Amino acid sequence: MSDGSTGEKLTELAKRRGYFFRSSGVYGGVGGFYTFGPQGAALKGNLEEAWRDRFAVAEGHMEIDAPTIMPEPVFEASGHLEGFDDMLIECPECGATVRADHLVEDGTDHEDAESLPIPEVEAVIAEYALSCPECGAGLADVAVEEFNLMFSTRIGPGDSQPGYLRPETAQGIFVEFPRLSEYARNKLPFGVAQIGRAYRNEISPRRSIVRTREFTQAELELFVDPTGDGPDLEPVADVPVRLYPASAQADGGEELRTTIGEAVADGTIADPWVGYFMGVAQEWYEAVGVDPDRFRYRQHLAGERAHYASDCWDAESEVDGNWIELAGFAHRGAYDLSNHAENSGERFTVFRQYDEPKTVERAAVDPDMSELGPRFGADAGAVVEALERLADRDRAAFDGETVTVDVDGERHEIDVETAGFAVEEETVAGEHVTPHVIEPSFGVDRLVYTVLEHAYREDEVDGEPRTYLALEPAVAPTAVGVFPLQRDDALEAEARKVARELRAFGLSVTYDDSGAIGRRYRRQDEVGTPFCVTVDYESLEDRAVTVRERDSTDQVRLPIDELPATLAALRAGDRSFEELYSNN
RNA sequence: GCGCCGGUGGUCUAGUGGUAGGACAUGAGCUUCCCAAGCUCAUAGCCCGGGUUCAAUUCCCGGCCGGCGCACCA
């Protein structure tokens, strides 16, 4: 056994045992892409299913499945075309690559260089004679290159329209908001979940499946009324959490151990919805096998927050000595919906009915077009609009005989009677509001990695070293290993029959009859199979088998008849092995 | 993208200017064996391209991939 880090040993185990490995290896591989092997795909699927159960089904939200390729306008609206774009400049002397916009911001009094077009950034660099922060070489006249983190493609042949692989699953939900809102019968709050792939052309993918170019997200977009009631915090109020607020990070302060209820009450977590999901997630992460001692919530620093987020907390896990982001809990405000409304011209609002209809006075005009038409010709429309705006803004302007409006710098005098000015009473039943978005966004691949890393164990059984994965039975990719005690036609036939019955019961089963029994236990230990069933000679007589638990290696004897239901209950967590063992 | 280091069976690794050895794993068999036992046999490897050379897995250059550091991570 090498004395490498857990990360190295885990990566090696993952390769060998079919959890995950570099993709397209026969052609040399390509950075940032991984294939989940048979065990990995099953584990990932189980985690996704667990997420779906908790965040979609148990919360009463809907789930959709949107395309991974979307047309350019979507990302113009979302801000990814602009904001996902880095301006890089490469030093001709030392070869260092630096962000051109950062260079400008540091070296001049420009504060938002990112919004400047590239030629202008180049001009500013030349003007101020900015130099390379690494070696000091002048960077005037060095080309600034654009690098967008989105993968681009063309949709259709010929002069087709540009498209992009989505950099987050969220946009697929936002874009369909009008229809989804209709489906939810326009009642806030409602949530839409999605589990799917997202793509980012990372400059430098690292650390196996922690940072890849194609990854799976599980996201929930909860649409809430900005003035509406918050969540019922009662179910999560007492959930203990470990918080690392922005203030503590800034001044080297301590992490905070508190509860969701207290953190929301004292304002550490500003938004109750964000707090609610942090509480739900805390318990969920523990249930699927994240070690609570290596888990925390870290608030984003002001400069770290995305353009849309007013407050954001990350769930982080500690793996191999580093904290990595597992999930983000962001309040996105109305940012996404109002941008899509503006860019698409569609309505991204929900009508909120007042408890009592309100009566309001409204000033309006009803111009006599038979007079304005002939008088202003093609400008008549603009004149009417000017009148409407004026009526809305300044009723007093209509107090006299005539009213004056400016259209394209020209003043026009119009009879108030011709304008058709009147103040009317109107009954308003409600108003259109753009919902705010609360977004819990989970990285599935990183969770797979964390769950494996936190489950990795080495111990000794009867003086022999053992490696095993203490995965939660509910998410373990293989539920049961079934063996004949030794090679023997009668034992093998019985064991195969047991395996068949367990599979018919919906359990994923590995059958293994090779080598010695101890070796087969170890093999299953290493992939994290929680239970193994061994058929021996006595089984043929007493219709009972040995069930062995992975972590303790304890064994109990169970009737074959009861096996499927008992193992299913053990897997679901409805029964515990300890209880079986002590009753045996 | 830059710098340093590296790339040999499935995995981990030894080694060499004349195409490679081990360990573990895997498969077949023997051993009536509930925690990696033993024995026999078998399968299986020098990242890719170019250069130097009679000859390259080995030396040189480039690429790809990986680790670490920097940068990046809306």
Q: Same domain, yes or no, for A222 and A306?
A: yes
Mean pLDDT of A157-179: 88
Which nucleotide shows the minimum CA-to-C1' distance to residue A31?
B65
Please tell me what DSSP assigns to residue A60. T
Segment of A15-29, A146-160, A193-207, A471-485 carrying the highest mean pLDDT: A471-485
User: Would you state the pLDDT for residue A147?
Assistant: 73
Q: Which residue has the higher pLDDT, A451 or A247?
A: A451
The yes-or-no verdict on residue A115 having pLDDT over 60 is yes
Q: Same domain, yes or no, for A201 and A222?
A: yes
Which nucleotide shows the minimum CA-to-C1' distance to residue A523?
B36
Q: Same domain, yes or no, for A214 and A266?
A: yes
Tell if the pTM clears 0.90, that is, is over it.
no
State how far the Cα of A393 lies from the Cα of A96, in Å rounded to an integer. Answer: 57
Average pLDDT, chain A: 87
Rounded CA–C1' distance between A27 and B53, in angstroms: 29
Q: Same domain, yes or no, for A374 and A244?
A: no
The tokens of A16 are what?
A: 């060998």
Rounded CA–C1' distance between A514 and B28, in angstroms: 11
Say yes or no: Cβ of A522 under 7 A from any atom of strand B: yes
Residues 46-75, chain A: which have Cβ under 7 A from strand B? none
At A204-218, the pLDDT tens digits run 777 778 889 999 999
Which nucleotide shows the minimum CA-to-C1' distance to residue A547?
B34
Mean pLDDT of A171-192: 93
Q: H helices within A128-176, ranges in order?
A: 170-174
Which nucleotide shows the minimum CA-to-C1' distance to residue A557?
B34
Q: Is residue A493 part of a domain?
A: yes
Q: Same domain, yes or no, for A446 and A523?
A: no
The yes-or-no verdict on residue A2 having pLDDT over 60 is no
State how far the Cα of A162 lies from the Cα of A164, in Å rounded to an integer. Answer: 7
At A286-335, the pLDDT tens digits run 999 999 999 999 998 876 666 566 679 999 999 988 899 999 999 999 99
User: Would you state the pLDDT for residue A46?
Assistant: 96
Confidence at A3, pLDDT banded by 50, 70, 90 = very low
**Number of compact structural domains in chain A:** 3
Crossing angle of helices A444-455/A272-288, nearest 10°? 50
Q: Same domain, yes or no, for A282 and A324?
A: yes
Rounded CA–C1' distance between A462 and B39, in angstroms: 24
Q: Same domain, yes or no, for A58 and A20?
A: yes
User: Would you state the pLDDT for residue A1?
Assistant: 32
Q: Is residue A138 part of a domain?
A: no
Q: Is residue A21 part of a domain?
A: yes
The tokens of A303 are what?
A: 């400069």
Residue nearest to nucleotide B27 (CA to C1'): A514
Residue nearest to nucleotide B29 (CA to C1'): A515
Q: Which residue has the higher pLDDT, A387 or A513?
A: A513
Query: Which CATH number covers residue A10?
Result: 3.30.930.10
Tell me the pairing of strands A152-155 and A311-319. Answer: unpaired
Edge-to-edge strands of the sheet including A555-559? A509-511, A480-484, A531-535, A544-549, A555-559
User: Would you state the pLDDT for residue A92?
Assistant: 63
* HSE-CB for A412 with a 13 A CA cutoff: 21
Edge-to-edge strands of the sheet including A161-165? A69-71, A161-165, A152-155
Share of chain A above pLDDT 70, in %: 93
User: Would you state the pLDDT for residue A161?
Assistant: 84
Residues 437-456, chain A: which have Cβ under 7 A from strand B? none
ipTM of the prediction greater than 0.85, yes or no: no
Q: What is the extent of the structural domain holding A295?
A: 1-67+163-349+434-466
The tokens of A102 are what?
A: 């950062």
Burial of A119 (0-12, 13-18, 19+ CB in 10 A): exposed
The yes-or-no verdict on residue A236 having pLDDT over 90 is yes
Q: Compute CA distances A563 → A481, A498, A501, A578, whole Å.
A: 13, 9, 9, 16
How many other C-beta atoms can be found within 10 angstroms of the C-beta atom of residue A388?
17
Query: Which CATH number covers residue A523?
Result: 3.40.50.800
